[in-house]
Chains A and B, each alone.
Chain A
């Protein structure tokens, strides 16, 4: 079973994809309609589908990873329709290409008065792929004020090569951002983005559904390319995040140049001649 084609006008723009490359995430406020948010929370509260994380290989859930997303959860009354929303499927196709593969999901339900933060970490294990990437969809189905925590993210950290919680000795970074948002907000993150769940000081549980997806094909020119030559894209890719320091920020820009080349197929794209200089002067 394949999902229907993504509706015209639902894909990301080049400027949005460049923002993803520079910051490691995109945020879409109140994207999911209230009725589907309520339905999703009800599905999660009733058990939804078990996560394959930690599931035995021969269990039903254990056989999901790697299968096309289109095959999953056909009976879901809210979460599957959310994934079929034109804008959601357009975002996924823009970043991963057609036929995205399911990796895993996890419904994070943080109880009331949870006082402790998760330490900073990148999910799963250190991923040695130099360019190809997975995405993680973080769905916030109810209002999430700062007192409820929200997932804290570190913009621009997606290319840092650390394994899971190896970064956990550090508690705070300049420019860290807690996801404080209204119901229906979707955060789309590069798999390598550093993040940590924040304490929930409210009287209500906090729910966030995470869904990791991977590419089934090369991630090449999958979005709305009409603005691919927009000069503001270079400015976006040059963003220096305060926590990096100015010298390492330059190296992060190098990573972005490489990823932008990979995504656009333009092997001559460059900023300040940094990679061209190296490529064109290989001899001693």
Chain B
């Protein structure tokens, strides 16, 4: 038996890990679930902290960077995106 990685991306309303999830994605390396844009209206967790309590490990936190001069009002990607993982039993290795 080998393990496979599940990645959960949670974007928060603020950098605070207990703030509300505003955007989310799941990519399942076990192949048991398939996900795509627009497939759910309710986030899997209310916060990153809630996901941690359910066993998700935070593997990346967003860097907090000051706006560049002249770009103080620019908006683009969701700013506070956390990456979490779970390792799951994923069947036999290929080859």
The answer to whether A196 and B37 have CB atoms under 8 Å apart is yes
Rounded to whole Å, the gap between the CB of B78 and the closest CB of chain A is: 7
Does A160 touch B at the CB level, under 8 Å?
Answer: yes
- Chain A residues near B24: list those with CB within 8 A: 170-172
Cα distance, A48 to B77, chains bound together (Å): 37
Stretch of A19-27, A237-245, A259-267 lying at the B interface: A237-245
A-B CB pair tally, cutoff 8 Å: 90
The answer to whether A255 and B73 have CB atoms under 8 Å apart is yes
Q: Which residue of B lies closest to A244 (CB)?
A: B22
The answer to whether A159 and B75 have CB atoms under 8 Å apart is yes
- Chain B residues near A173: list those with CB within 8 A: 22-23
The answer to whether A171 and B25 have CB atoms under 8 Å apart is yes
Total contacting residues, chain A, CB less than 8 A: 35
Residue among B19, B22, B38, B73 making CB contact with A174, cutoff 8 Å: B22
Within 8 A of B (CB), among A143-177: 152, 159-162, 166-174, 176
Cα distance, A261 to B42, chains bound together (Å): 36
The answer to whether B78 and A170 have CB atoms under 8 Å apart is yes
The answer to whether A172 and B14 have CB atoms under 8 Å apart is no
Q: Which residue of B lies closest to A166 (CB)?
A: B77
Q: Which residue of A lies closest to B19 (CB)?
A: A245
The answer to whether A117 and B14 have CB atoms under 8 Å apart is no
Cα distance, A96 to B14, chains bound together (Å): 36
Residue among B13, B38, B76, B77 making CB contact with A176, cutoff 8 Å: B38
Residue among A116, A167, A174 making CB contact with B43, cutoff 8 Å: A174
Contact code string B28-57 (vs A, CB < 8 Å = 1, else 0) = 000000011111110100000000000000
Stretch of A66-74, A212-220, A246-254 lying at the B interface: A246-254
The answer to whether A160 and B23 have CB atoms under 8 Å apart is no
- Chain B residues near A248: list those with CB within 8 A: 75, 79
